[in-house]
Structure 1
């Protein structure tokens, strides 16, 4: 068995350190971008007016990174965030190498039950904002492939209400092309504001 032997393409990568330095530089800039995003989310007027679950903002922001979400590097910002066994209220922004940015509102348990009526009534606003709803059973998948998400706009109002009412959690998300790098902060902030306004008005 010689499965340790390198292909020509693998040799080109393994023998060249420069691309690792560039990759590390990209990840550092993504972390700086998400840090600036967190500041803008925290400073937005809707954050000051919204009635978050207890301790949601007290947990503070968290930026984490890893190397192997579906075998590719990623960086995640969770803010606001509240992860407990009985309730999840989290707004997650993710950079996934070679694919896209995404922002996701994740509600579960008592938080999902609390805001479900508002979400049910917010079909039109969520559809207009380009949001998509997660359709799988595992809440910890973050990509938009394999039918994981359906656009809210593709669901009739009654379908939407039925979907909101079922299950112990709901995730609403929107992807942003990597080509939007310089515009992704205001785009994510706008999505965040729309989501919180829908929840609040309910």
Structure 2
């Protein structure tokens, strides 16, 4: 039979509203921060010559939140985002409580196929910039635990080309420590700009 007795730590928390109020306030501030990240990413778009397909930006940005990504609260910004049954072009900024922020480029289907060659050729630039590549077959894990990601610079060029070809999707990501709160916008935008340059064939960017 399941034990329903509270531990002393649990009893202390449920008898107080302080922690929940602080947590709710923090999440609201993360939501506000994500709004500022979207504005900064949109400004980056206006300054780039990356050839966005019109439909990739029609869906606009989306900020969502939840309580139970592997038991912990989270907030996500998808901008730019384009999802349909056969194609994905999305840049996801995520906050995961107690862990980190992350920035992830997700390409799928025909979109991924379009950028196949420049992804292969972008190996050195991606490796130098500290990006990691997603390894599982299921594309919908978001964290860096349990071997989900591996640094690109740990692969040879031939191994990298095999990875790029392996699935109908690819995810490239970087984590950022929560303690760098004031630098998150700059760090995420720099990662985004680097990825756009690589996709645009500017491998030295």
TM-score, normalization: structure 1?
0.96
Tell me, what secondary structure is at the counterpart of 1:55?
Answer: helix
How far 1:58 sits from its partner (Å)?
1.0
Residue 56 of structure 2 aligns with which residue? 56
Structure 2: distance between partners of 1:14 and 1:107: 43
Describe the shift of the 1:148–1:46 C-alpha distance in structure 2 as closer, same or farther (beyond 3 A): farther
How far 1:54 sits from its partner (Å)?
3.6
- Could you tell me which runs of 5 or more consecutive residues in structure 2 were left unpaired when the two chains were aligned: none
How far 1:7 sits from its partner (Å)?
1.0
How far 1:52 sits from its partner (Å)?
2.0
Residue 119 of structure 2 aligns with which residue? 119
How far 1:115 sits from its partner (Å)?
0.6
Matched, 1:18 2:18: yes
Structure 1: distance between partners of 2:128 and 2:13: 44
- Could you tell me which runs of 5 or more consecutive residues in structure 1 were left unpaired when the two chains were aligned: none
The Cα offsets for residues 143-196 of structure 1, whole Å up to 9 and x where unpaired, read as 101110010111111111111012110000000011111111100100000000
How far 1:3 sits from its partner (Å)?
2.0
Residue 190 of structure 1 aligns with which residue? 190
Residue 7 of structure 1 aligns with which residue? 7
Structure 1: distance between partners of 2:2 and 2:169: 47
Residue 106 of structure 2 aligns with which residue? 106
Structure 1: distance between partners of 2:47 and 2:71: 35
How far 1:53 sits from its partner (Å)?
3.2
Residue 158 of structure 1 aligns with which residue? 158
Structure 2: distance between partners of 1:57 and 1:142: 22
Tell me, what secondary structure is at the counterpart of 1:111?
Answer: helix
Residue 71 of structure 1 aligns with which residue? 71
Residue 81 of structure 1 aligns with which residue? 81
Residue 93 of structure 2 aligns with which residue? 93
How far 1:45 sits from its partner (Å)?
5.0
Out of 66-75 and 159-168, give the one that drifted further.
159-168
Structure 2: distance between partners of 1:99 and 1:52: 32
Within 5 Å, give how 1:113-152 maps onto structure 2. 113-152=113-152
CA contact 1:93–1:101 (8 Å) conserved in 2: yes
Count the aligned residue pairs.
202
The Cα offsets for residues 28-73 of structure 1, whole Å up to 9 and x where unpaired, read as 1101111001001001156642222341111100000000000000
Structure 2: distance between partners of 1:53 and 1:140: 24
